[in-house]
Structure 1
Amino acid sequence: MTHESPSEAPEADPMTTPSPTATATLTTTPVLDVVVPVYNEERDLAPCVRKLHADLTQTFPYRFRITIANNASTDGTRAVADELAAEIEEVEAVHLDQKGRGRALNAVWSASDAKVLAYMDVDLSTDLAALAPLVAPLISGHSDIAIGSRLARGARVVRGPKREFISRCYNLILRGALAIRFSDAQCGFKAIRADVARRLLPHVEDTGWFFDTELLVLAERAGARIHEVPVDWVDDPDSRVDIVATAVADLKGVARVGRGLLTGRIPIGELRAQLGRAPLEPTTPGVPKGLFRQLVRFAAIGIASTLAYLLLFVLLRGTFTAQGANLVALLATAIANTAANRRFTFGVRGRHGAGRHQFEGLIVFGLCLALTSGALALLHHVTDPGGGAELAAVVGANLLATVVRFLLLRNWVFRNRPQESTS
C-alpha cells in the first residue's frame, strides 16, 4: 500500500462531516481511492495520472490515493506505473497476473482502506470537472453509488453515430431484460461507498467489461441509492475496446444475471438485509418467501397446463357438450397442476399432506370450474356462439381463474404449516 505519514492528531471522519474543512487533512487513511485500470497503456498512463493528481490536489479537500491497476499488460505499462508510484506520494501501483477490468477493480476495491472507491478510464474521456459532484453524495452519506451518465439530461457527448447507437441499444436491452432504472451502465466513471462495495463485490462474477453493469444491477435490486451525474464526454478515437466481442460478452452477462434473478441464485433478499433495506415483500407468518420466483414457476406450469387443457377441450368437444368437455379437461389438468405446483413452485416435498393438498386443490379447481362454466353459460345465454367464441370465452375465464388459483394455492393450500417439509 502507499506509505502514509503517521499523525498523532485525532482522526476526522468526513463520512459524518459533510462540509469540507481543513481538518480533513488530519485523516490517516485516504477518504477517496481512485482506481485507474490499465492494459497496455504505457503511452497514456503518465499524462493521465499526472493530470488526475493535479486536479485532485487542487480541488479535493480530503486525503486521496490514485491506484494504478495494471492487469497483465505486456508492454511497458508496469515500468511506467512503478515510476509514477515512486515519484508521487499519493500514487500506488498494483499489478495483476490476469487480464480483465472487472477483475482489477474487484481486487483493488476489495483491498482498499479508503471510505469512497472510484474508478475512471485512463483515456480521461470524462471531464474531471464531474469528479467532485460524483463523490460528494457518497462522502456526505446521501447516496451509496454514483455513476457518470452520458445519457442523462445535461450531459454533453462527442462520439460517432456507431458508438452512440450501440450504447443506447445496450441500455435499452438492460431496461427491457433487467428492468434497470439508471441511464448509463458502461460509462467509465463511477464511485461507491466502501461499506456498500464490501457487501456487493463478493456476488459480482464478471471479470471484464460487464462488471459495471452487474454491480449496478445488484446494487439497484438490493435497494442501494444510485446517484447519476451528467458528464461531458469525448470519445477516444484510439480506444482498444473490441466492440463486437464486448457486446457479445455483455449480452451473455445480461442472460446470466437475468437467470440468477429469476431462479433466486442471486441472494437479493440477503443483500437488502445487509444494506439495511426493507424486504421486497412483506413477511407474513406461514407464507413461503420468494414471491417473484414462485410467480415465474407458477406461470411456467400454468402455461403447460393451459395448453394441455385447451388440447383436451378441443378433442373432447366433438364427443361432449361444451360444459362436459370443460369439466373433464379441467379436472384432468387440475390434479397434475396441483402436484407440479406443490413440488416445484412451493417446494413442498414428501408424502405428508399430499392428500390434503390435492383435496384443497380440488376445491380451488371447483372455484375455477365455476368461473369457466359461468363464462360459457353466459356466452350461450347471450348468443349462439361458434367454436371460436367458446374457445375465447374459456381462455379469458382461465386467465382470471389462474390469478385466483395462484392466490389460493400460495395463501391457503401451501401455507407453511408445522411438520410440513418445504424449501
Structure 2
Amino acid sequence: MSPSLTSPVSGVRKSTRVVFIARFTQCYTVLVFFSPSLIVHPEEDRKYRSAKFSKPVPLPSVHDEAEVDLTVVIPAYNETKRMPAMMQSTLAHLTSSACSARSYEILIIDDGSKDGTSNLALDLAAKNPKIDIRVITLIKNLGKGGGVRHGMLHGRGRRLLMVDADGASRFEDLELLWKAMDKLSPDEKQASIAVGSRAHLVKTEAVVKRSILRNILMYGLHTILRIVGVGHIRDTQCGFKLFSRGAAQQIFPYQHLATWIFDVEVLLLAKQLQIPVAEVPIQWHEVSGSKLNVVTDSLQMLKDLLILRANILLGRWKAPPRSKR
C-alpha cells in the first residue's frame, strides 16, 4: 500500500492523540490548581496552653511513643454555647469507673474562633486541674478537617478519639468503639479504626424530623460516596471515630482536605492501606447551632469529592505503603 493511502489515517490518529493529550493536560492543570496542598502550620499552631503552664508549650508528635491510653480530640469553632454541656458529659465518663484504669488527655483544637472558645476551654482546664486538658489555638480557621488532623498529629494516646464539640454523640459510646477495636486488633500496635455510625437511625425520629432538603442531600451524598469508593461504610460523616496510634501515624500526615468531607479522604486512605475499619451503631441526636450551611456546604462537599476522586485515581494523593508491624 502506498504512503499516500495510509497518511490520512495516520494523520487522523496523530491529531486525535494530540487533542487528547492537550485536553488531559488542561484538566490536569485545573485539578492541580483547585487541589489543596498538605497543611503546613506556623510555629504558633504547634504549641498548646493548659492549666499547668502560663506560657504556650511545644506539642509532642504522634510519631513519638504513646504516653497515655487515650487522646480525645475535640475540634471547636465558635463553640462557647455548646461545648460546656459536651465537656460535662465527657469528663463525667472519663472520670467514671468505666475508665478508672485508663489514662487520658483532652486536646481542644480552637479552629480560629472569634467568640472566646479558647478562653472557655482554658477556664474548664483551670476548674479541672487533675485532668490533662490541652488547648491549641489555630491562627486561622482551617475547617473541621484541619482541626481534627492537627489534633491527631499531636496526640499522645495509644488510641485517639475524634469527637464533635456539639455533644450530638453520646460520649459513653466510646466503650462500644473500644470493644470493637479490641476485636479488630488485639495487638495495640496494629493499625485499626472504629467509626461511630448513625445508619441505624435513618428511619427514626432523629433523622425523619430533619428538613426534607437535608434528607434529600443525605441520600444524594450516600449515592456519590458509593461511586467514590467508600460504599462499604454506611455513615462516613459521623463525628465520633476512634483510631489506633498506628492508624493515626499512617493516615493523618497525608490528609489534604480540611473541609467537612475530610472523613471520606481519611477512610479512603485507610482503604488504600488495608487498615481494618469497624462501623459501630451509636446513639446520636440533633443539636441546634450547627455551622453547616446545607446548600453552600453541600456544593463544597461535591466539589471536594470530585477533587478527591480525581487525585486518588491519578495517584496524586496516597499514603506510603503500610509498614509491617
Is TM-score (shorter-chain normalized) higher than 0.5? yes
1:137 pairs, out of 163, 180, 196, with 180
TM-score, with length taken from structure 2: 0.71
1:75 pairs, out of 106, 112, 115, with 115
- What's the counterpart of residue 18 of structure 2? none
Aligned-partner Cα distance in 1 for 2:226–2:182 = 29
TM-score, with length taken from structure 1: 0.55
Higher mean C-alpha displacement, 66-75 vs 232-241: 232-241
Aligned-partner Cα distance in 2 for 1:236–1:68 = 19
Provide the secondary structure at the position in 1 that maps to 2:280: strand
CA-CA distance at 1:267 after TM superposition: 3.4
- What's the counterpart of residue 197 of structure 1? 248
Contact 1:200 1:218 in 2 (8 A): yes
CA-CA distance at 1:86 after TM superposition: 2.0
Change over 3 Å in CA distance of 1:38–1:118 after alignment to 2: same
- What's the counterpart of residue 86 of structure 1? 126
Q: Which AA in structure 1 matches 2:253?
A: P
1:104 pairs, out of 147, 167, 177, with 147
Change over 3 Å in CA distance of 1:156–1:109 after alignment to 2: farther
CA-CA distance at 1:139 after TM superposition: 5.1
Change over 3 Å in CA distance of 1:275–1:107 after alignment to 2: farther
**1:135-164 deviations in whole A, cap 9, x for unaligned?**
333356257111111114899660314333
1:43 pairs, out of 81, 87, 108, with 81
Q: Which AA in structure 2 matches 1:120?
A: V
Q: Which AA in structure 2 matches 1:63?
A: S
Larger radius of gyration: 1
**1:219-240 deviations in whole A, cap 9, x for unaligned?**
1222110011112211113322
Aligned-partner Cα distance in 1 for 2:203–2:230 = 23
Contact 2:106 2:133 in 1 (8 A): yes
What are the within-5 Å matches in structure 2 for residues 178-193 of structure 1? 178-193=229-244
**1:219-273 deviations in whole A, cap 9, x for unaligned?**
12221100111122111133221122221221122112211222122336x33x3
1:115 pairs, out of 158, 162, 181, with 158
CA-CA distance at 1:81 after TM superposition: 0.8
- What's the counterpart of residue 300 of structure 1? none
2:90 pairs, out of 37, 47, 52, with 52
What are the within-5 Å matches in structure 2 for residues 228-267 of structure 1? 228-267=279-318
Q: Which AA in structure 1 matches 2:303?
A: K
Structure 1: 4+ residue segments shifted above 4 A: 1-4, 152-157
Aligned-partner Cα distance in 1 for 2:230–2:238 = 19
Unaligned runs of 5+ in 1: 5-27, 277-423
Higher mean C-alpha displacement, 172-181 vs 227-236: 172-181
Provide the secondary structure at the position in 2 that maps to 1:134: helix
Q: Which AA in structure 2 matches 1:204?
A: Q
Percent identity over paired residues: 25
Contact 2:104 2:132 in 1 (8 A): yes
Aligned-partner Cα distance in 1 for 2:203–2:253 = 32
CA-atom RMSD, angstroms?
2.6
Change over 3 Å in CA distance of 1:129–1:82 after alignment to 2: closer
- What's the counterpart of residue 212 of structure 1? 263
Provide the secondary structure at the position in 2 that maps to 1:213: helix
Contact 1:157 1:232 in 2 (8 A): no
Q: Which AA in structure 2 matches 1:253?
A: D
CA-CA distance at 1:53 after TM superposition: 0.6
Q: Which AA in structure 1 matches 2:140?
A: Q
Unaligned runs of 5+ in 2: 1-47, 53-65
CA-CA distance at 1:211 after TM superposition: 1.5
- What's the counterpart of residue 328 of structure 1? none
Q: Which AA in structure 1 matches 2:323?
A: Q
CA-CA distance at 1:184 after TM superposition: 0.7
- May I ask how many residue pairs the two structures share in their alignment? 252
- What's the counterpart of residue 323 of structure 1? none
Contact 1:70 1:95 in 2 (8 A): yes
Higher share in helix: 1
Higher mean C-alpha displacement, 130-139 vs 217-226: 130-139
**1:302-325 deviations in whole A, cap 9, x for unaligned?**
xxxxxxxxxxxxxxxxxxxxxxxx
**1:81-110 deviations in whole A, cap 9, x for unaligned?**
111122222322111112121111111110
Q: Return the structure number with greater relative CO, CA threshold 8 A, min gap 6.
A: 2
**1:276-321 deviations in whole A, cap 9, x for unaligned?**
7xxxxxxxxxxxxxxxxxxxxxxxxxxxxxxxxxxxxxxxxxxxxx
Change over 3 Å in CA distance of 1:131–1:139 after alignment to 2: same
- What's the counterpart of residue 127 of structure 1? 170
Contact 1:150 1:156 in 2 (8 A): no
Contact 1:180 1:217 in 2 (8 A): no
Provide the secondary structure at the position in 2 that maps to 1:158: helix
Contact 1:147 1:190 in 2 (8 A): yes
